[in-house]
Amino acid sequence: MGISRYPSTVTMPEAKQPYPSILEFLCIRFPSLPREVWKLRLAQGKLLDASGNPLGPDDGYAPGRQVRYFREVSDEPKIPLTDAILFQDDELLVACKPPFLPVTPGGRYVNECLLNRLRLRSGNDDLVPLHRIDRETAGIVLFSANRGNRDRYADLFRKGAVEKSYLALSRSVPPPGKTRWEVADRIVKGDPWFRMKTTPGTVNARSTITLMEVREKMARFQLQPQTGKTHQLRLHMSELGFGIANDRLYPVLQPESPDDFRHPLQLLAKSIRFQDPITGAHREFVSPRELTWEATVLRTPHAGGYGETE
């Protein structure tokens, strides 16, 4: 049984009267979790109010009221890959994430996520990610370490004032000639729900993709997203015909299978740049990780690459 060390919070929204019970609200809000599970947690005092006091079956629904709970999973997978803290001060913590490790709790993952690893290691329970990268993607992730100035850093991402650069390897080599592509389209949720797709309409996703090198029937690209839609770079590369090596979602959804730590997605959040909103200084953070040509081409682990374990 995996139980989170840190509480999750859900807020009761405005609702028509008569108000539902807390139990009814949680069953509606989290339909995938059986009613009996919430009923048992409520009876065991595992649901708390904003002050940390246990909620009981007789506690009423109130718009704006918070319910705190600790996520539980029956069998949490272990991710045997190492993350690293690259920088830390009073405002920011910058980490380099390995592939396969989620940034925040979700699904089968409670404590095996970058956020909870870093909270435990740093002793700072106020850490909050300022942006996300896919579980399969490795590289740079920024965290706010100070509630008071958090919104000033988050505003940089909302305004597109952060320059991000990724690296990717593809087994599809472009024909001679063109080496740069400007992609602008509209990305929406696809089917199944965890895949994205492009559709006609107002543009909401932009990326610049540059061919950097061709070696042994492999191509290395620099990817520079100007927006931050889910799976944007994976989808843009796939639609150009340069699917990222070891991508299990694009262009074709692969059958579900256990994680293969020897062959991660060859996508790396390599660097991030911005002007600090507090000090005015130019900030740049670069991942020490590199994509592994040999592991991708030969399908074998590569020393010093993504195959290391804790």
> Domain 2-73 belongs to what architecture?
Roll (3.10)
pLDDT digits (tens, 9 = 90+) for 254-293: 999 999 999 999 999 999 999 999 999 999 999 999 998 7
3-state helix, strand, coil in the chain (%, to 5): 15, 30, 55
Instruction: Give the residue from 99, 116, 142 showing the smallest Cα distance to 305.
Output: 99
pTM comes to 0.86
Region of residue 234 (left: phi > 0; alpha: psi -120 to 50; beta: else): alpha
* pLDDT for 307 beyond 60: no
Read off φ and ψ for residue 30, nearest 5 degrees: -125, 75
pLDDT exceeds 90 at position 58: no
Task: Identify the CATH number of the domain defined by range 84-298.
Answer: 3.30.2350.10
Cβ neighbours of residue 54 closer than 8 Å, sequence gap 6 or more: 45, 46, 47, 48
- Return d(Cα 57, Cα 166) in angstroms, integer: 50
Q: Is the per-residue pLDDT at 106 higher than 60?
A: yes
Domain limits of the chain?
A: 2-73, 84-298
Q: Is 228 exposed, middle or buried (0-12, 13-18, 19+ CB in 10 A)?
A: middle
Q: What is the pLDDT of residues 72-94, one digit of tens each?
A: 888 899 999 999 999 999 999 99
Extract the tokens encoding 248: 């299990």
